[in-house]
Amino acid sequence: MLELITFSTLNGLLYGMLLFMMASGLTLIFSMMGVLNFAHASFYMLGAYFGFEISRRIGFWPGFVVAPLLVGAVGALVERYGLRRVHRYGHVAELLFTFGLAFVLEELVNMFWGKLPVDYRVPPSLDFVAFRLFDTTYPAYRMFMLLVAVAMFAFLIAVLTRSRVGLIIQAALTHPDMVAMLGHNVPRIFMLVFGVGAALAGLAGVIAGPALVTQPSMAALLGPILFVVIVVGGLGSLAGAFVASLLIGLVQTFAVAINVSLADVVGAEAAARLGDLGTVTVAQIAPVIPYLLLVLVLIFRPKGLMGTRET
Amino acid sequence: MRSLVIAASLALGAAAAFGASLAQADNLKIGYIDPLSGGGASVGEVGLKHFQFLADEINAKGGVNGQQIEIVPFDGKTNPQESLIQAQKAIDQGIRFITQGNGSSVAGALLDFVAKYNDRNPGKEVLYFNYAAVDPVLTNDKCSFWHFRWDANSDIKMAALTNFLKQRPAVKKIYLINQDYSFGQSVRTQARAMLKEKRPDIEIVGDELHPLLKITDFSPYIAKIKASGADTVITGNWGQDIALLLKAAADAGLQTDFYTYYAGGAGGPTAIKQTGLSDRVFDIVEGNANDAPASAQKTEQEFRDKYGVTLWYPRAVNEMRMFAKAANEAKSNDPKAVAAKLEDMKVEGFDGGEIVMRKDDHQLFQDMFVRSFGPLKPGQKFDEEKTGWGWTTQGRVAGKDTLLPTTCKMERP
């Protein structure tokens, strides 16, 4: 039991941190520009594929550095030449733009790398067992993922609260017009934020690619859950996104481990009246739980856990 | 004037389209409806290559009754609704043979759809060839004259696997993990029933259903298997669900035997090698290239040379060859005539042994092989995914020993 709890916690934290790497960019972009970026998970996918392509040619580590930068550049270009033009037609147009972009990116990846999963491997330098606990091994690569995610979180917090750029970004979050009046180039800040957000998602892709699967559907698999994270965490709140990511990571992982069904709680006879619903175990509905959370949060606390404004 | 121009160009366009369809009408088209995107794409894409390869093979020998076979791909997205739309699209193009394999939920929907369509459109019947959807119900309660299945159904496979388990007394605690849809559920039910009968001493320590093709990280499930103390895992998972399950097992150092239906699929062999479970991961298939007859090995080599992937589906070879034979013997490419010839057809299977398409339920019976995956043994030619590991036959069940009774009451036109 202790073994299950330990490893579920580790797995949940890791999944949560991975979610956070993407959600942080998404929530920054949303709170600043008001754009719900449907293509955000696509940048994650691009990161994985760029990482794969570079690691295949020169090695994992160059890919680890270069791929997120490339994705960031793609993101900045998308903002500069796509979103900014669409911006003047309002939020719905922007939403539709990113929605379409997600499909275009997926199709492009299909064309370049095919629909089959690519063989993106863990680098040999990290391909060993980090520790062994209760006879279960934990791969070093997963520890590395966790470290990268934590480092990125620390870096982000430091930039946002301690640097000049961070202060301007924070100001632009709430008072974009005032910031522009003060002589700052708000469109450029937007481009920067979009680029950095994309780069963070790209970084998540680079490190998640070898551990999970690198395939064109990876964006579609992870995309919806990101929206859950930013809504539950509260729009515009980085801390909220962090808490929500970990919460969802842990909830999903632990739910898988729980074999309790309604029948076990209220008794088989009472549960039988509910039909199949009575005998379904928590483990079976694990994938739906985050969305249930989304619905409940929207009903009872539209601000999200730590948000400052209504959704 | 303007409307005249539009009308004229429309008419021209229609004529051109009509001309094009006339030109292509010379080909005998087979609609291939399987996932070409999403989580099932990794298997759907390779399946498509099989059929294109087999069509080329038949075409090189002059085709079927003088017609060349053309495989037309449709993306069913492992989704029943989507697949029905694609089937309708295929029929609208004049296609009268469709083939599909991935997803018994899809197969069930297609089977219904084809049966109803044929009822309403006598003389324009459509025939449905199933090469991989193995839910037993398709050739039992839901059986249809218009459906033929070349893969052994899930019960037959489970019977072979559990027979094999009888000889392995070391197996004491089994964990079942399957995909949450009709096929996965039938695997778990049959596994429970057959184990109870053949190995009552075995304890089932876990019985898991997870969403179909949606999980990207199986670590939580592996932690659970580990905690259960299981020494063996039985799973019907396919596509990325088996590859990722094995990958997560490798990461956590899970040391159990695996009895699978589809560990040979994309990514599976690579993941098995990572687990280091040498000859402890088994699968159940209708052929093993490493000890197949010379003719099958030659085809395997040609297929690998051409596409760089393994020929996963010997049953697809049987399907297309039997189809061509039936049509040629019937001297007609009409689905009804072909169906009549396929019934009770007996031929030599691709991997040896006689194979029979049973008339009662349109289920093919063939020799089945239990294989294990490990380092290539001396004399073995084929490894998988460049791992240096390959499949070794551990047990062979003759086709006649896999005969299970059917509840099918076939309605014939």
> What is the predicted pLDDT for the residue at A90?
84
How many Cβ pairs within 8 Å bridge chains A and B?
101
Q: Is A285 on the interface with B (CB under 8 A)?
A: no
What is the tens place of the pLDDT at every residue in B119-168?
999 999 999 999 999 999 999 999 999 999 999 988 889 988 998 898 88
Q: What is the mean pLDDT of residues A269-297?
A: 79
Residue-wise pLDDT for A106-121, tens only, equals 889 888 887 777 778 7
DSSP B229: T
Residue identified by tokens 């002589």 is A183
> B155-285+368-402: same fold as B8-152+295-365?
yes
The reply to whether B209 touches chain A by the CB within 8 Å rule is yes
Q: Which CATH class is domain B155-285+368-402?
A: alpha beta
Whether residue B113 has pLDDT greater than 90: yes
Please name the residues in contact with B317: beta carbons below 8 A apart, sequence gap of 6 or more: B50, B54, B299, B311, B350
Given a cut of 50, is residue A311 above it in pLDDT?
A: no
- Whether the CB of B360 is below 8 Å from some CB of chain A: the reply is no
A276 touches chain B (CB under 8 A): no
Cα dist. B9→B17, B20, B23, B62, B318 in Å? 12, 16, 21, 39, 47
Contact (CB<8Å) B266/A4: no
Whether residue B188 is predicted with pLDDT greater than 70 in this model: the reply is yes
The model's confidence at residue A88, banded by pLDDT at 50, 70 and 90, is confident
> Looking at residue B23, what is its pLDDT?
43
Give the model's confidence band at B26: pLDDT under 50 very low, under 70 low, under 90 confident, else very high.
confident
* 3-state class (DSSP) for residue B63: coil
Residues B280 and A165: their CA atoms lie apart, in Å, by 57
**Chain A CB contacts of B270 below 8 Å:** 119
Interchain contact A162–B (C-beta under 8 A): no
* Chain A contact probe: residue of B102, B179, B204, B216 with most A CBs at under 10 A: B216
pLDDT digits (tens, 9 = 90+) for B220-263: 899 889 888 899 999 999 888 998 899 889 888 888 999 999 99
Q: Please, what is the average pLDDT of chain A? A: 85
Rounded mean pLDDT of B381-390?
91
Higher pLDDT, B265 or A270: B265
How many whole angstroms separate alpha carbon A82 and alpha carbon A94?
9
Give A56: exposed, middle or buried? Use CB within 10 Å, 0-12, 13-18, 19+.
Answer: middle
What is the CA angle A252-A221-A261, rounded to 5?
30
Interface check A168 vs B, CB under 8 A: no
* Contact state of B41 with A217 under an 8 Å Cβ cutoff: yes
B239: region left, alpha or beta (phi > 0 left; psi from -120 to 50 alpha): left
The domains of chain B are located at: 8-152+295-365, 155-285+368-402
- Which amino acid does the sequence have at B269? P
Query: A302: pLDDT confidence band, cut at 50, 70 and 90?
Result: confident
Q: Please tell me whether residue B354 adopts helix, strand or coil conformation.
A: strand
Which residues, listed in sequence order, are joined to residue B69 by a DSSP beta bridge?
A: B28
Q: Is the pLDDT of residue B81 over 50?
A: yes
- Which of B214, B252, B254 has its CB closest to that of A287? B214
Q: What mean pLDDT do residues A218-243 have?
A: 85
Distance from CA of A202 to the nearest CA of B (A): 17
CB A208 within 8 A of CB A48: yes
Taking the C-alpha atoms of residue A157 and residue A163, their distance in angstroms, rounded to an integer, is 10
- Residue A103: is it exposed, middle or buried by C-beta count within 10 angstroms (0-12/13-18/19+)? middle
**Residue linked to tokens 């008001």:** A34
Which residues are CB-contacts of A94 (< 8 A; sequence separation ≥ 6)?
A33, A34, A35, A83, A86, A87
B284 pLDDT exceeds 90?
yes
Closest-CA distance of chain A to residue B171, Å: 20
The rounded Cα B244 to chain-centroid distance in angstroms is: 20
Q: How confident is the model at residue A2 (pLDDT cuts 50, 70, 90)?
A: confident
A211 has a chain B CB within 8 A of its CB? yes
Minimal Cα distance from B252: which residue of A? A137
Instruction: Give the pLDDT of residue B22.
Output: 43
Say yes or no for a CB contact (<8 Å) between A211 and B210. Answer: no
Q: Which of B39, B45, B251 sits opposite A217 (nearest CB)?
A: B39
Q: Where are the domains of chain A?
A: 2-216
- Considering only CB atoms, which chain A residues are within 8 Å of B46? 116
Asked if residue A40 has pLDDT above 70, the reply is yes
Partner-chain contact B253 A137, CB within 8 Å: yes
Q: Check if B242 contacts A (Cβ < 8 Å).
A: no
Q: Is B268 helix (H, G, I), strand (E, B) or coil?
A: helix
Q: Dump pLDDT digits (tens) for A173-211.
A: 777 778 888 888 888 888 988 999 999 999 999 998 888
DSSP B311: -
Residues of chain A with Cβ-Cβ distance to B229 below 8 Å are none
Mean pLDDT of chain B: 89
Distance from CA of A14 to the nearest CA of B (A): 11
pLDDT of residue B2: 52
Q: What is the pLDDT of residue B19?
A: 43
In chain B, the residue whose alpha carbon lies closest to the alpha carbon of A259 is B208
Q: Which residue of B has its CA nearest to A103?
A: B37
Q: Does A131 touch chain B (CB under 8 A)?
A: no
pLDDT-based confidence at residue B191 (cuts at 50, 70, 90): very high
Q: How far off is chain B from A236, nearest CA to CA, in Å? A: 28
Q: What is the mean pLDDT of residues B213-219?
A: 84
A154 pLDDT more than 80 = yes
Strands B173-179 and B232-235: parallel
Instruction: Give the pLDDT of residue B21.
Output: 44
Distances (CA, A) of B58 to B315, B317, B333: 16, 11, 14
SS3 annotation, chain A: CHHHHHHHHHHHHHHHHHHHHHHHHHHHHHHHHCCCCCCHHHHHHHHHHHHHHHHHHCCHHHHHHHHHHHHHHHHHHHHHHHHHHHHCCCHHHHHHHHHHHHHHHHHHHHHHHCCCCECCCCCHHHCCEEEEECCEEEEHHHHHHHHHHHHHHHHHHHHHHHCHHHHHHHHHHHCHHHHHHCCCCHHHHHHHHHHHHHHHHHHHHHHHHHHCCECCCHHHHHHHHHHHHHHHHCCCCHHHHHHHHHHHHHHHHHHHHCCCEHHHHHCHHHHHCCCHHHHCEHHHHHHHHHHHHHHHHHHHCCCCCCCCCCC
How close, in Å, is residue A41 to chain B by CA atoms? Answer: 14
Query: Which residues of chain B neighbour A284 with C-beta distances below 8 Å?
Result: 180, 209-210
CA-to-CA dists, residue B260 to A36, B221, B251, B327, B399, angstroms: 42, 16, 19, 35, 20
Chain-centroid distance of CA B145 in Å reads: 19
Specify the fold of B8-152+295-365: Rossmann fold (3.40.50)
Closest-CA distance of chain B to residue A254, Å: 8
Residue-wise pLDDT tens digits, A91-147: 889 889 999 999 999 889 888 887 777 778 788 888 888 788 777 788 888 899 999
Q: Are A165 and A179 in contact (CB under 8 A)?
A: no
* B312 at interface of A, judged by CB pairs closer than 8 A: no
CA distances from A297 to A23, A232, A290, A310, A311 (A): 17, 6, 10, 11, 10
Q: Is B240 on the interface with A (CB under 8 A)?
A: yes
